[in-house]
Amino acid sequence: MIAVDVDLGGGEQGAAAGPEAQHRLNRRAAEEIGRQILLRNVSGLIVIDFAGFTQRGKMKALIDILRSRLKHGEGHADVLGISAAGLVEVTRQRAGPSLGELMAAPARAAEISSDAEAAEALRQSLRLTGAGKPAATLSRGAIACLNGPMKAALEETQRRLGQALTLIEGPSGPDCRMER
């Protein structure tokens, strides 16, 4: 179960914290709660305690806001209404993995584009130090980029190195080093 408690906090002070200020806050909160439920793929029972409500008519407006926000999401959502304790109850069917499941899942290896791999190889080669001949192991696509659209960048890198950069086809990397 998810519980949401809406409070005025320090948002409204003094006489301004009357029923109209509470209603404005609760309307903004209803919009945001609906957005967050969809964004985070929250499902199950959701109970919302809006700030200081005694007027049932204004509570209906909040329920309508929640219903309109939740109708656009995947999965079925029911805004059940107001409980005897004055809480708004919502149930929502899960559609796909939750945000927690997505965040806890093992990371997939990132695939780097050929031009990004080629550019990274040039950056790495300019940071090489020591004696030897600079070499870079790259994918076939990255080598094609360096010999094609990025030829001017390769030539500038070689000028700065003071010698040619040897391009070796291999698994995508890049892997730059000084060879003897």
Residues 96 and 19 in one domain: yes
Q: At 138, give phi and psi (nearest 5°).
A: -140, 165
Q: Stretch 42-59: mean pLDDT, rounded?
A: 82
> Any residues with CB less than 8 A from the CB of 42 and at least 6 apart, and which?
2, 36, 92, 98
Residues 98 and 163 in one domain: no
Residues 126 and 161 in one domain: yes
Residues 83 and 121 in one domain: no
DSSP 8-state class, residue 60 = H
The pLDDT tens digits of the residues spanning 21-39 come to 888 899 999 999 999 988 8
pLDDT the model gives residue 125: 94
Residues 83 and 166 in one domain: no
Residue 143 lies in a domain: yes
Q: Stretch 12-19: mean pLDDT, rounded?
A: 59
Residue 121's domain is classified under what CATH number? Answer: 3.30.2320
Q: Which of 104, 127, 158 is the C-terminal boundary of a domain?
A: 104
- Closest Cα partner for 128 from 96, 163, 95? 163
Higher-pLDDT residue of 53, 1: 1
Q: Which of 47, 73, 104 is the C-terminal boundary of a domain?
A: 104
Residue 146 and residue 134: Cα distance in Å, rounded?
15
Residue 64's domain is classified under what CATH number? Answer: 3.30.110
> What share of the chain has pLDDT > 90, as a percent?
49
Residues 79 and 145 in one domain: no
- Predicted TM-score (pTM) of this structure: 0.53
Residue 176 and residue 126: Cα distance in Å, rounded?
10
The pLDDT tens digits of the residues spanning 57-111 come to 778 889 999 999 988 877 788 899 888 888 999 999 877 777 677 788 777 767 7
In the chain, the number of structural domains is 2
Residue 109 lies in a domain: no
Q: Which of 104, 125, 157 is the C-terminal boundary of a domain?
A: 104
Residues 91 and 136 in one domain: no
Residues 6 and 68 in one domain: yes
Q: Which domain holds residue 135?
A: 114-179
Residues 95 and 154 in one domain: no
Residues 11 and 100 in one domain: yes
